[in-house]
């Protein structure tokens, strides 16, 4: 099947998932939708997230995708079941693969989770972790200031480091040996986070865990002679998306298109 893989996120952060997928499946075409007009999702209610996620999925499914990846942790936490009920193609979110990976690597069964207010409030990571291994203890912390720092391209800024130190100190005191980066934006801050937590705590990047899961579970072939084509759609500010894309992935994002919303997302003519 040569149809593309569809990925959506609330904005630019899901490019970390796009990057992990394109690296593990370089011959697959990918269509990415970033809801840059309505980001952030992390502070919005469950009902709103479900509505937004259904609209985003519907747009990608109209582009004939063969698999939908919900890159946004907040959407995965609140809307994955609704999406699976409403649409008839394979759909995967980031939470289960991140949780599974954490259980696999933890040695002392103490797992920390950072994410948006929505993701942490939903308890989605905890539920999956407890279901798979009831001996694991979880320690979670909403870290809402991190998304704006990444969106501002303040990745190496001293203020970002200071805020991270404040956020992470409780988790470090709980003696966690594994930390789940439960938000699409956080892998971008991996280096700073590592500086703070040191090498004893293992970081789980949900983007990478998800890419491994896709590779294991779907029969998509990689062919040396084919390079996947990438298309991007955003609901606002394609120029800013390109700039952040360059900063996050060091990649020139060429085919970035604007969509506007009427009864669904429509390509701008």
Q: Which residues carry out catalysis?
A: 72, 183
Instruction: Give, for 197, the enclosing helix (H) or strand (E).
Output: helix 190-197
| Contact criterion met (CB below 8 Å) for 128 and 119 | no
Give the CB-nearest residue to ligand DGL.
42
Nearer to ligand DGL, 97 or 119 (CB): 119
Question: Distance of CA 262 to CAs 35, 38, 55, 116, 255, Å?
Answer: 14, 14, 11, 28, 22
CB of 249 to ligand DGL, least distance (A): 16
Stretch binding ligand DGL (CB under 6 A), from 66-74, 84-92, 154-162, 225-233: 66-74
Stretch binding ligand DGL (CB under 6 A), from 9-17, 165-173, 214-222, 227-235: 9-17
DSSP-assigned beta bridge partners for residue 181? 114, 205
| Contact criterion met (CB below 8 Å) for 30 and 5 | yes
Of 4, 6, 40, 245, which lies in the binding site for ligand DGL, with binding defined by CB under 6 A?
40
146 in contact with ligand DGL (CB under 6 A): no
* E strand spans, 71-228: 91-93, 110-115, 137-142, 178-182, 202-205
13 in contact with ligand DGL (CB under 6 A): yes
Of 74, 143, 160, 235, which lies in the binding site for ligand DGL, with binding defined by CB under 6 A?
74
Nearer to ligand DGL, 106 or 119 (CB): 119
41 in contact with ligand DGL (CB under 6 A): yes
Q: What are phi and psi of 208, to 5 degrees?
A: -70, -40
| Contact criterion met (CB below 8 Å) for 187 and 193 | no
Q: How many residues bind ligand DGL (CB under 6 A)?
A: 17
DSSP-assigned beta bridge partners for residue 92? 69
Of 4, 5, 7, 9, which lies in the binding site for ligand DGL, with binding defined by CB under 6 A?
9
Stretch binding ligand DGL (CB under 6 A), from 35-43, 99-107, 132-140, 217-225: 35-43
Cis peptide bond N-terminal to 83, omega within 30: no
Nearer to ligand DGL, 47 or 107 (CB): 47
């Amino acid at each position: 099947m040569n149809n593309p893989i569809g990925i959506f996120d609330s904005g630019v952060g899901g490019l970390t998932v796009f990057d992990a997928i394109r690296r593990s499946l370089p011959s697959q075409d990918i269509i990415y939708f970033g809801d840059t007009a309505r980001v952030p999702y992390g502070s919005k209610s469950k009902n709103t997230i479900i509505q937004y996620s259904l609209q985003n999925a519907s747009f990608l499914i109209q582009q004939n995708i063969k698999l939908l990846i919900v890159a946004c942790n907040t959407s995965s936490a609140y809307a994955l079941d609704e999406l699976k009920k409403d649409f008839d193609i394979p759909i995967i979110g980031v939470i289960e693969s991140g949780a599974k990976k954490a259980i696999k690597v933890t040695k002392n069964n103490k797992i920390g989770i950072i994410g948006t207010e929505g993701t942490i409030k939903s308890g989605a990571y905890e539920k999956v972790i407890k279901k798979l291994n009831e001996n694991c203890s979880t320690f979670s912390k909403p870290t809402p200031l991190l998304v704006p720092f990444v969106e501002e391209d303040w990745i190496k800024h001293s203020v970002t480091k200071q805020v991270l130190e404040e956020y992470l100190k409780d988790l470090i005191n709980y003696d966690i040996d594994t930390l789940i980066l439960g938000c699409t934006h956080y892998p971008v801050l991996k280096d700073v986070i590592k500086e703070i937590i040191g090498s004893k705590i293992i970081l789980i990047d949900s983007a990478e865990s998800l890419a491994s899961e896709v590779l294991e579970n779907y029969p998509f072939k990689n062919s040396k002679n084919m390079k996947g084509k990438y298309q991007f759609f955003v609901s606002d500010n394609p120029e800013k998306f390109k700039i952040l894309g360059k900063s996050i992935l060091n990649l020139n994002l060429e085919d970035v298109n604007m969509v506007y919303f009427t009864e669904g997302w429509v390509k701008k003519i």
